[in-house]
Structure 1
């Protein structure tokens, strides 16, 4: 892996893998000292390749709501893990469409928040949220559920996007519930996977959204982006992710996938450390 110094104007220079593209939104409304929180990975159509074909049209419809906080890239990359995680539950009658639509919609609420609120949400050095970060996290879920009801429609009413076959009322309610709880793993995790689905505290679809969403922090692109946004050394961030991992995921397969990805990030960080030492000799 090659590491190169990349410059983000008005923010700084960063030594990152050469495939990590960085940009800064224009017209920012926050103090310049906080601009690093809003550094992003720009959208490219190549990310559509990660999305299962049957959900590409809906993703494109929702895309205008995803163009903040690198959510567009986040959702596209995490959709690439959809079928992999579902396959880990062969005994479950998982509603794949509900999980996919929930993942596409879960972060649309960020489109309604200010630059400062988005910056506040990223002011943490690991996965555990501070009180300052928690407030915009809660608001984006509320706004996201409201927008999802507009897009999908409530009850038997049609929304802005028409599905074939139509979504049932139960499907919609489960999607809205998933959006509402996707950033609350501590509330979603209170169940035993050996208990029949109908008796669990939360449906498996909600569980899968939580883990598909949270896997993003362990993916190559976001790991390196977050070292910049959060202002944290890569080696320290690996340690913090490892420490918080078990409480951040709610299914065993989700945790195992995160551990595998974290091991890959650890190797990358070791390569960076070796590069820095070699350059200093």
Structure 2
């Protein structure tokens, strides 16, 4: 047997060992959900989901019972994930100025500041917190968008310290003091656009998995076990062949 062939067998053996190793681990993933309950005497309610894989978060918000119009135009409802405080929805007692509503500034010690602006397009930073033309409109809507999630927001979600607020109250339902006030984040808008109408705290969500393996082309654990067994037999055979080749090589060396 040629020396090059003898050297190739141990290399093949190492390659077989590498093939027998398990596949690379997929990116970490988490799911969080929130039940949106009415606040500030509104009728709005709904649900929110955040599904995270790596640093990508798919955020889904379903809302019903929100005001449809503002000054005769489709009402854009600002919505944000808040972090950095107590991680709870602000209670009615947070109404510090007595105007009958808890606006975003009064609620900040409870819900925290804006971490993600759930806009329909473009920037999702706190700077877009009150950009009225980039939020869902109407009395009921279904929103979904995938954004890059920063580590601090993910940590807040994991620790149960993240809240979602949907904003946009009916001005006709507010007190005269609240009706005459302006949005603290955008003075060109009335305070009604800042007032939360639905709020929910995010909690970890365990998704129900269907029984039995899905036909996805990905091997199940049982199939992997069979493949590993076959690979193991192949590896043992190659190891034996490698050992025999090394023995032949030693004998050839001794004769020479």
Interval containing the TM-score (normalised by the shorter chain) = under 0.3
TM-score by length of 1: 0.24
Structure with bigger gyration radius: 2
TM-score by length of 2: 0.26
Instruction: Compare the two structures and name the one with the higher strand fraction.
Output: 2
Instruction: Compare the two structures and name the one with the higher helix fraction.
Output: 1
Higher RCO (CA-CA < 8 Å; seq separation 6+): 2
